[in-house]
Chain A
Amino acid sequence: MVKKFILFVLIFISINIIAITALTFYLSHKVAKQGFENWQTESNLLFLKNNQHYNLLFMGISHARNLSRHQNHQRVEKILNKSICNIAQGWDDDGMNVQYLYLNYFYDTGNKADTVVFFASPILFYSDYLDNNPLAYASEPINLKFFWLNVIKGGDDKWQQLFYYVRNKFSPYWLNMTPNTDTIKTDALSKMDTAAVNAGLKDAYRDGMTQMIFEKKCNDLKKIVELAEAHHSRVIFILPPALFGTWPGTDKVIDYLKQLQPVYGTTYYDFSNSVTDPSMYYDHHHLNTKGVVYFTQNYLKPVLGK
């Protein structure tokens, strides 16, 4: 009787797991088959192909991803005269460890990059919540290689992230996903709103500025540098511009980047205060298309366009 019961339970569980897996793959494929380019999506797995060679690989958070959004990608490629792959992640979806996983996936699928350009937004060094966002992979299609990478190298909340990675394939957000057709970002600020900046910083630094998190993130960054080095990619760090200039904790970040320099041969450029015209931002730390073009021509080209 007990054996029969256990057998029935196992059959029931198996049927449901098979059905859920099949449906998840079907829904994932249904969206992915539309075909996405780097500038048309916030996802990485939707556009990444195998065995490609790029001159530059952009990494970081929204400040880097923004260089591809709204078809900025083609503009930046044209100005720099380089092929670019942008695997940075915005929307609070991405921390240092998540970037490390994406870089692993990038190399594991046979891709190569001459230079890894890591946009080292200081907030990345002080935030655990970015790495622990349960919806970190909400925009990604189901991919067994990426799933397994998360199982073996994922962060503290990897099981929750993997659960939502699968579950989200049933959400209207995923099912309604289509290639983004925005061609330009023209929204612009007229002046700096100090109250909004303070509120934004308070939200961004919600984990505080603890030494423990800072060290953890530095360690993750070191893993990124070592992985890039192992795949013969040069690493350049760039501190992106913000209308309010320097982010809290920037000095400590720069000190750490300086420490990496002699060990790994990395370089860094602090462009925190490079763009001061409000009309080049659509919020206090994201450049609009005019800002992206200006920043690329005047600051990125001299260091990346060589």
Chain B
Amino acid sequence: MAASCFFYMAFVPAYILIILLTIVVDYFAGIYIEKSEGKRRKQFLVLSIISNLSILGVFKYYNFFNANFGRILFHFNFHDPLPLLKMLLPIGLSFHTFQAMSYTIEVYRGNQKAEKHFGIYWLYVMFFPQMVAGPIERPQHLIHQFYEKHYFKIDNVVSGLRLILWGFLKKVVIADGLAHIVTDIYSYPDHFPGSGLLLGTLCFTFQIYYDFSGYSDIARGTALVLGFSIMQNFETPYLSSSVSEFWGRWHISLSSWFRDYVYIPLGGSRVKLPRQFLNILIVFVLSGLWHGASWTFVIWGCLNGLYLIIELSTSGIRKKLFNNFKSIGAKFIVKSLGVVITFLLIMFSWIFFRSSNLHQAAYIIKHIGKGITQPFDIYGIDAAPGLLGFILLSILIVITHWVDYKGGLTSLISHKPIVIRWATYSLILWVIFILGVFHEKVFIYFAF
């Protein structure tokens, strides 16, 4: 617990008071929900949710809604009726708020006993490996682990260290290696032809995956070294053959959170089709807003919701068509085509996610198709990797996808002879040492 507090306070020490407030409210809400009956239970749940969302609302969404509200009022001659808040967003606010909410909801549903030990509940919200960027854990999976005795287990330590090493490879070599290209192209999109914009978007597609999945691996590895198991957040999402499959393999802890606590309570897929479509849209708009208080994130969410709606409404036809292909080879080709199409759709949606505003997103979409074969000076990009760098990064992307697809480094090499294991670790370490970018920024998802 002390380590978690120290970790959190390294950012803005005073913000621990905010998280402490939600911990106290949710801790007592959990106990009172369990003790109470009938409407009172719901009242305590609502109180807990409102308090969590209020903090999220003030820190994350106040300025966004204020700016938009101000724009509307401007037409009625009211100028800046409310001041803007100038303060830093508490690190990982969206993650630990959602984790805290899942606790009270699960207690309300009767799936989790209210935690009586305040320190254990505190640790559930603030467990340092995953508190700033997930995975967003469920109380049923995590809380009981805090009661178990943890001994030094070499298997856990080795597996954890392997995950950490793997995560660093993804983050420091691949994600940060691509970051310069993305930053330059998205900072000055008007300096690049369509081919440059396409390259920037493609690089961001991989950057965000490797940045976030790299962090998740490091978080899981750190927890495992200490003897704790936390959920897997990614399962090679870019190998999905449909958008719905993608969302089952991308940021799994958040997708399942929205599924369990928003989509299903809204009726999920048990309602009529138009209502189901609406439910999907609601979930994805909320998911967009969860990522950031900006219209670009809202559009990104809407777009993904729209993909799913189209996919759902054409599922019957697609299934029939797929069944027409009898041979395994033909089925493989169709499936591969699905992977490519899904990848392109998701890549397109990342334009909104990465753009600083809708105007920039519109510019990129408008120009990405123009001059797509036009060469541009990659060396004009500050610190861009040369041709050899690009080839190495591409090879690493293929290798890391293959390893993750096969279940990860542990399942691939843990039973191999020591020479092969040590050679593999050394190779990864050397790649990190030689190709790693160490003066690069923080993780992208820390901002959420």
Contacts and interface: CB of A to CB of B under 8 A. Distances in A.
B439 interface: yes
Nearest to B386: A172
Contacts of A1: 154
B69 interface: no
Contact of B426 (A16, A167, A172): A16
B363 interface: no
B433 to A, nearest CB: 6
Interface string A2-31: 100100000010011001100000000000
B154 A170 contact: no
Interface in A127-166: 134, 160, 163
A170 B433 CA distance: 10
Contact of A172 (B152, B154, B388): B388
Contacts of A2: 152, 154
Contacts, number: 26
A274 to B, nearest CB: 34
B386 A134 contact: no
Given A134-B439, A163-B438, A5 B157 contact: yes
Contacts of B152: 2
Contacts of A12: 422, 425-426
A160 B152 CA distance: 33
B434 A167 contact: yes
B428 to A, nearest CB: 11
Contacts of B434: 167, 170
A18 to B, nearest CB: 11
B430 A20 contact: yes
Nearest to B152: A2
B345 interface: no
Contacts of B422: 12, 15
A12 B426 CA distance: 8
A20 B154 contact: no
A160 B430 contact: no
Nearest to B439: A134
A50 B434 CA distance: 32
A167 B172 CA distance: 14
A20 B439 contact: no
Contacts of B439: 134, 160
16 contacts: A1-B154, A2-B154, A5-B154, A5-B157, A12-B422, A16-B426, A16-B430, A19-B426, A20-B430, A134-B439, A160-B439, A163-B438, A170-B433, A170-B434, A172-B386, A172-B388
Nearest 8 pairs of A and B residues by beta carbon = A170-B434, A5-B154, A134-B439, A16-B426, A2-B152, A12-B422, A16-B429, A1-B154
Interface of B: 152, 154, 157, 386, 388, 422, 425-426, 429-430, 433-434, 438-439
Interface of A: 1-2, 5, 12, 15-16, 19-20, 134, 160, 163, 167, 170, 172
